[in-house]
Amino acid sequence: MTEALLGWSFIVWAVAVGACLLAGIVRGIVGFGYALIVISALNLVALPAEVVPLATILDLLGGINMIPRVWRDVHWSGARWLGLGALIGIPAGIWLLVSLNADAMRLGISLAILVSVILIARGLAFAKLPSSPLLFLTGGLSGFLSGSGGIPGPPVILLYLSSPLPIITTRATTVAFLLLVDSVALIGMSSQDLVTSQTLLRAAALIPVTFLGISIGAGLFKFAKPAQVKTSALWLLAVLAIVGVGKVLIP
């Protein structure tokens, strides 16, 4: 009974189901955070090489589920520059995932995210839309984080939260961008034999609870005020950044 299903014990499956439901709700509300939550939770009970590809698959399917609802609100000019940058960053991140110990990098990224959250919460904002070079660089960093750790969302969401665009555009653009990034990252992970038949079967088992969470979150978004959504996104980023720092510093 300890190896209940597909190589995972009952405890691991319980964590996976709970994390996917919560992550789905959060993604339905703010448009990102799914992979961050699932990876943070499952890394406590499973191997990263198992967790990152699984979270990427489920995040991709979640994006496919959400994109028809947000298509009209996407900031497409920005999404194109983000996507171009990500195409360069993803291969570098995948190389790091299979080649190096990334604790120092993840510590630096988590601290940078935490500092950015504090600055935005204290009123940091761009008066104009992000420039094409800034979008390209942000996309490259997001792609790098996607390939190395399955967490492409923070740089993009931080950039857009500090822009003058409405929160509904931030949410929609993040959904569209993550759909592209997850697709490319999954191809790269498959080329490195990180996606196995067991990974696909685990993903299939967790799809229903993921879609249920997204539906709940999307319903809650309709009643949320833009300021509440922005605050929720910042709190989520802050908590996950602190968790990231803790996972590196506390063995």
Question: What is the C-alpha to C-alpha distance for residues 198 and 201, in angstroms, rounded to an integer?
Answer: 5
In this model, does residue 109 exceed pLDDT 50? yes
**Per-residue pLDDT tens digits for 180-214:** 888 988 888 888 888 999 999 999 999 999 999 99
- What pLDDT is stored for residue 248 in this prediction? 76
- What pLDDT is stored for residue 251 in this prediction? 64
- What pLDDT is stored for residue 154 in this prediction? 76
**Per-residue pLDDT tens digits for 20-47:** 998 899 888 878 778 878 887 887 788 7
- What pLDDT is stored for residue 1 in this prediction? 42
Question: What tokens does 102 get?
Answer: 């990334």
pTM across the whole model:
0.79
CA 174 to chain CA centroid, nearest Å: 9
CB 244 within 8 A of CB 56: no
CB 14 within 8 A of CB 206: no
**Per-residue pLDDT tens digits for 138-149:** 999 888 877 776
**Per-residue pLDDT tens digits for 158-188:** 888 788 888 888 889 989 998 988 898 888 8
Question: What is the C-alpha to C-alpha distance for residues 32 and 38, in angstroms, rounded to an integer?
Answer: 12
Q: What are phi and psi of 142, to 5 degrees?
A: -65, -45
3-state SS record for the chain: CCCCECCECHHHHHHHHHHHHHHHHHHHHHCCCHHHHHHHHHCCCCCHHHHHHHHHHHHHHHHHHHHHHHHHHCCHHHHHHHHHHHHHHHHHHHHHHHHCCCHHHHHHHHHHHHHHHHHHHCCCCCCCCCCHHHHHHHHHHHHHHHHHHCCCHHHHHHHHHCCCCCHHHHHHHHHHHHHHHHHHHHHHHHHCCCCCHHHHHHHHHHHHHHHHHHHHHHHHHCCCCHHHHHHHHHHHHHHHHHHHHHHHHCC
